[in-house]
Amino acid sequence: MKIDLTGKNALIGGSSRGIGRAIAVQMALSGANVTVVARSEGLLQNLVHELDTSKGQHHQYIVTDYSDFEKYKKQVDTYFQNNRVDILVNNTQGPSAGSSLEKATEDYQQAFDLLFKTVQYTTQAALEQMMKKKWGRIINVASISVKQPLSYLALSNTIRAAVVTWGKTLATDVGPSGITVNSVLTGYFDTERIEQLNQKKAEQLGIAEKEVRRDMEQQVPVKRIGLPEEYGFLATFLASDQAAYITGTAIPIDGGLLKSI
Protein backbone atom coordinates (compact mmCIF):
# COMPACT_ATOMS: atom_id res chain seq x y z
CA MET A 1 0.00 0.00 0.00
CA LYS A 2 1.39 3.37 -1.03
CA ILE A 3 0.22 6.39 0.91
CA ASP A 4 0.10 9.53 -1.21
CA LEU A 5 -0.57 12.88 0.46
CA THR A 6 0.46 14.96 -2.55
CA GLY A 7 -1.39 18.27 -2.59
CA LYS A 8 -2.49 17.99 1.03
CA ASN A 9 -1.51 20.64 3.57
CA ALA A 10 -0.58 19.39 7.04
CA LEU A 11 -0.28 21.50 10.20
CA ILE A 12 1.65 19.58 12.85
CA GLY A 13 1.97 20.80 16.42
CA GLY A 14 4.89 20.20 18.76
CA SER A 15 7.02 19.17 15.82
CA SER A 16 10.54 20.46 16.50
CA ARG A 17 11.50 17.14 18.07
CA GLY A 18 10.22 13.72 19.13
CA ILE A 19 6.89 12.39 17.97
CA GLY A 20 5.75 15.58 16.23
CA ARG A 21 8.98 15.75 14.26
CA ALA A 22 8.65 12.12 13.17
CA ILE A 23 5.10 12.75 11.94
CA ALA A 24 6.27 15.78 9.95
CA VAL A 25 9.08 13.81 8.33
CA GLN A 26 6.81 10.94 7.31
CA MET A 27 4.01 13.14 5.98
CA ALA A 28 6.51 15.11 3.90
CA LEU A 29 7.91 11.85 2.52
CA SER A 30 4.34 10.99 1.52
CA GLY A 31 4.01 14.24 -0.42
CA ALA A 32 2.30 16.64 1.98
CA ASN A 33 3.08 20.34 2.32
CA VAL A 34 3.99 20.60 5.99
CA THR A 35 3.77 23.46 8.46
CA VAL A 36 5.64 22.63 11.67
CA VAL A 37 4.89 24.36 14.96
CA ALA A 38 6.93 24.62 18.17
CA ARG A 39 8.80 27.02 20.44
CA SER A 40 12.35 26.64 19.09
CA GLU A 41 12.90 28.58 15.87
CA GLY A 42 16.33 27.08 15.32
CA LEU A 43 15.06 23.51 15.48
CA LEU A 44 12.11 24.36 13.24
CA GLN A 45 14.35 25.99 10.63
CA ASN A 46 16.59 22.93 10.55
CA LEU A 47 13.61 20.62 10.21
CA VAL A 48 12.05 22.58 7.34
CA HIS A 49 15.35 22.37 5.46
CA GLU A 50 15.51 18.61 6.05
CA LEU A 51 11.94 17.75 5.02
CA ASP A 52 11.47 15.98 1.69
CA THR A 53 10.59 18.23 -1.27
CA SER A 54 10.87 15.68 -4.08
CA LYS A 55 7.21 16.15 -5.03
CA GLY A 56 7.50 19.94 -5.20
CA GLN A 57 6.23 20.51 -1.64
CA HIS A 58 6.46 23.80 0.18
CA HIS A 59 7.19 23.63 3.90
CA GLN A 60 7.05 26.38 6.52
CA TYR A 61 7.08 26.86 10.28
CA ILE A 62 5.36 28.79 13.08
CA VAL A 63 7.19 29.72 16.27
CA THR A 64 4.77 29.74 19.19
CA ASP A 65 4.36 28.86 22.85
CA TYR A 66 1.21 26.85 23.45
CA SER A 67 1.22 27.87 27.10
CA ASP A 68 0.47 31.51 26.13
CA PHE A 69 -3.07 30.96 24.84
CA GLU A 70 -3.94 34.55 23.93
CA LYS A 71 -0.79 34.99 21.87
CA TYR A 72 -1.31 31.57 20.32
CA LYS A 73 -4.85 32.51 19.23
CA LYS A 74 -3.56 35.55 17.35
CA GLN A 75 -0.93 33.45 15.58
CA VAL A 76 -3.50 30.85 14.57
CA ASP A 77 -5.85 33.53 13.23
CA THR A 78 -3.03 35.07 11.19
CA TYR A 79 -1.97 31.69 9.79
CA PHE A 80 -5.45 30.70 8.64
CA GLN A 81 -5.95 34.00 6.82
CA ASN A 82 -3.58 32.73 4.12
CA ASN A 83 -3.45 28.97 4.60
CA ARG A 84 -5.76 25.99 4.19
CA VAL A 85 -5.20 22.88 6.30
CA ASP A 86 -6.31 19.42 5.17
CA ILE A 87 -4.53 17.46 7.89
CA LEU A 88 -4.33 18.76 11.45
CA VAL A 89 -2.17 17.03 14.03
CA ASN A 90 -2.97 18.41 17.49
CA ASN A 91 0.13 17.99 19.62
CA THR A 92 1.64 20.24 22.28
CA GLN A 93 4.33 20.05 24.91
CA GLY A 94 3.18 18.21 28.03
CA PRO A 95 2.30 19.88 31.34
CA SER A 96 4.54 19.49 34.36
CA ALA A 97 4.69 16.11 36.05
CA GLY A 98 3.33 15.51 39.54
CA SER A 99 0.69 13.67 41.53
CA SER A 100 -2.86 14.87 42.15
CA LEU A 101 -1.84 15.88 45.68
CA GLU A 102 0.89 18.14 44.35
CA LYS A 103 -1.29 20.10 41.91
CA ALA A 104 -3.43 23.13 42.72
CA THR A 105 -6.55 24.36 40.93
CA GLU A 106 -4.45 26.89 38.98
CA ASP A 107 -2.28 24.07 37.66
CA TYR A 108 -5.33 22.33 36.20
CA GLN A 109 -6.49 25.56 34.57
CA GLN A 110 -3.10 26.08 32.96
CA ALA A 111 -3.07 22.48 31.75
CA PHE A 112 -6.57 22.93 30.31
CA ASP A 113 -5.45 25.99 28.36
CA LEU A 114 -2.35 24.16 27.13
CA LEU A 115 -3.81 20.78 26.21
CA PHE A 116 -7.47 21.46 25.45
CA LYS A 117 -8.14 25.08 24.51
CA THR A 118 -5.31 25.19 21.97
CA VAL A 119 -6.57 21.96 20.39
CA GLN A 120 -10.19 23.08 20.21
CA TYR A 121 -9.30 26.53 18.87
CA THR A 122 -6.95 25.25 16.16
CA THR A 123 -9.43 22.59 15.10
CA GLN A 124 -12.26 25.12 14.88
CA ALA A 125 -10.11 27.28 12.63
CA ALA A 126 -9.17 24.35 10.37
CA LEU A 127 -12.70 22.99 10.10
CA GLU A 128 -14.08 25.91 8.09
CA GLN A 129 -12.16 24.96 4.95
CA MET A 130 -12.39 21.21 5.63
CA MET A 131 -16.18 21.46 5.71
CA LYS A 132 -16.22 23.38 2.41
CA LYS A 133 -13.90 20.88 0.76
CA LYS A 134 -15.70 17.85 2.23
CA TRP A 135 -12.38 16.31 3.26
CA GLY A 136 -10.24 16.55 6.36
CA ARG A 137 -8.17 14.64 8.87
CA ILE A 138 -7.85 15.59 12.54
CA ILE A 139 -5.42 13.58 14.65
CA ASN A 140 -5.12 14.23 18.38
CA VAL A 141 -1.90 13.12 20.05
CA ALA A 142 -3.07 11.83 23.44
CA SER A 143 -1.77 9.23 25.89
CA ILE A 144 -2.46 5.74 27.21
CA SER A 145 -2.88 7.50 30.56
CA VAL A 146 -6.46 8.37 29.62
CA LYS A 147 -7.22 4.65 30.02
CA GLN A 148 -4.54 3.70 32.52
CA PRO A 149 -3.65 6.80 34.57
CA LEU A 150 -0.02 7.32 35.54
CA SER A 151 0.24 8.56 39.13
CA TYR A 152 2.98 11.09 38.35
CA LEU A 153 1.06 12.70 35.46
CA ALA A 154 -2.14 13.94 37.12
CA LEU A 155 -2.56 16.95 34.83
CA SER A 156 -1.98 15.04 31.63
CA ASN A 157 -4.23 12.15 32.73
CA THR A 158 -7.10 14.54 33.36
CA ILE A 159 -6.99 16.94 30.43
CA ARG A 160 -6.00 14.47 27.73
CA ALA A 161 -9.05 12.41 28.66
CA ALA A 162 -11.15 15.48 27.90
CA VAL A 163 -9.46 15.83 24.49
CA VAL A 164 -10.23 12.20 23.61
CA THR A 165 -13.93 12.40 24.57
CA TRP A 166 -14.24 15.74 22.75
CA GLY A 167 -12.66 14.15 19.69
CA LYS A 168 -15.19 11.33 19.78
CA THR A 169 -18.04 13.86 19.95
CA LEU A 170 -16.57 15.92 17.11
CA ALA A 171 -16.16 12.83 14.91
CA THR A 172 -19.92 12.31 14.99
CA ASP A 173 -20.62 15.92 14.10
CA VAL A 174 -18.23 16.20 11.14
CA GLY A 175 -18.42 12.65 9.77
CA PRO A 176 -21.06 13.52 7.13
CA SER A 177 -18.62 16.08 5.71
CA GLY A 178 -15.90 13.53 4.95
CA ILE A 179 -13.79 14.56 7.94
CA THR A 180 -12.30 11.99 10.30
CA VAL A 181 -11.24 12.63 13.89
CA ASN A 182 -9.03 10.15 15.72
CA SER A 183 -6.96 10.19 18.89
CA VAL A 184 -3.71 8.27 19.30
CA LEU A 185 -2.97 6.97 22.78
CA THR A 186 0.78 7.27 23.14
CA GLY A 187 2.78 4.71 25.10
CA TYR A 188 6.49 4.86 25.92
CA PHE A 189 8.52 6.43 23.10
CA ASP A 190 12.18 7.30 22.87
CA THR A 191 11.88 11.09 23.17
CA GLU A 192 13.33 13.92 25.25
CA ARG A 193 10.04 14.11 27.14
CA ILE A 194 10.36 10.55 28.42
CA GLU A 195 13.98 11.20 29.39
CA GLN A 196 12.85 14.19 31.47
CA LEU A 197 10.12 12.17 33.18
CA ASN A 198 12.50 9.29 33.85
CA GLN A 199 15.04 11.66 35.34
CA LYS A 200 12.48 13.06 37.77
CA LYS A 201 11.25 9.60 38.69
CA ALA A 202 14.82 8.42 39.29
CA GLU A 203 15.43 11.37 41.63
CA GLN A 204 12.24 10.65 43.56
CA LEU A 205 13.08 6.96 43.95
CA GLY A 206 16.79 7.50 44.58
CA ILE A 207 17.86 5.16 41.78
CA ALA A 208 19.76 5.48 38.52
CA GLU A 209 17.88 6.75 35.48
CA LYS A 210 18.92 3.67 33.49
CA GLU A 211 17.11 1.51 36.06
CA VAL A 212 13.91 3.47 35.49
CA ARG A 213 14.23 2.93 31.75
CA ARG A 214 14.97 -0.77 32.18
CA ASP A 215 11.88 -1.18 34.34
CA MET A 216 9.83 0.70 31.75
CA GLU A 217 11.04 -1.59 28.96
CA GLN A 218 10.16 -4.65 31.00
CA GLN A 219 6.57 -3.42 31.44
CA VAL A 220 6.07 -3.39 27.67
CA PRO A 221 5.19 -6.80 26.17
CA VAL A 222 7.53 -6.25 23.20
CA LYS A 223 10.29 -5.36 25.73
CA ARG A 224 11.40 -2.08 24.21
CA ILE A 225 10.55 1.61 23.95
CA GLY A 226 8.83 2.78 20.75
CA LEU A 227 10.65 4.64 17.98
CA PRO A 228 9.20 8.03 16.96
CA GLU A 229 9.19 7.00 13.29
CA GLU A 230 6.80 4.15 14.16
CA TYR A 231 4.39 6.79 15.42
CA GLY A 232 4.85 8.71 12.19
CA PHE A 233 3.73 5.67 10.18
CA LEU A 234 0.44 5.41 12.09
CA ALA A 235 -0.33 9.14 11.91
CA THR A 236 0.39 9.24 8.18
CA PHE A 237 -1.92 6.31 7.55
CA LEU A 238 -4.71 8.00 9.53
CA ALA A 239 -4.18 11.09 7.38
CA SER A 240 -4.62 9.17 4.13
CA ASP A 241 -7.56 8.32 1.88
CA GLN A 242 -7.09 4.68 2.89
CA ALA A 243 -8.21 5.56 6.44
CA ALA A 244 -11.48 7.23 5.39
CA TYR A 245 -13.60 4.71 7.34
CA ILE A 246 -11.63 5.08 10.57
CA THR A 247 -13.01 7.83 12.81
CA GLY A 248 -14.00 8.45 16.40
CA THR A 249 -11.33 6.04 17.61
CA ALA A 250 -8.71 6.14 20.36
CA ILE A 251 -5.90 3.96 19.02
CA PRO A 252 -3.16 2.82 21.42
CA ILE A 253 0.38 2.69 20.08
CA ASP A 254 2.17 1.22 23.07
CA GLY A 255 3.75 -2.13 22.30
CA GLY A 256 0.87 -3.82 24.14
CA LEU A 257 1.38 -1.90 27.39
CA LEU A 258 -2.27 -1.19 28.14
CA LYS A 259 -3.78 -3.91 30.30
CA SER A 260 -7.36 -3.26 29.16
CA ILE A 261 -8.87 -4.39 25.87
Nearest to 140 by CA among 220, 40, 253, 244: 253
Structural element, H or E, at residue 142:
strand 136-143
Tell me the Cα Rg of the chain.
Answer: 18
Of 61, 72, 121, 152, which one is the catalytic site residue? 152
CA distance 241 to 234: 13
Active site residue 152: yes
Q: What is the DSSP letter of 175?
A: G
Quick one: which H or E segment has residue 245?
none
Distance CA 67, CA 230 (A): 28
Catalytic positions, written as ranges: 152
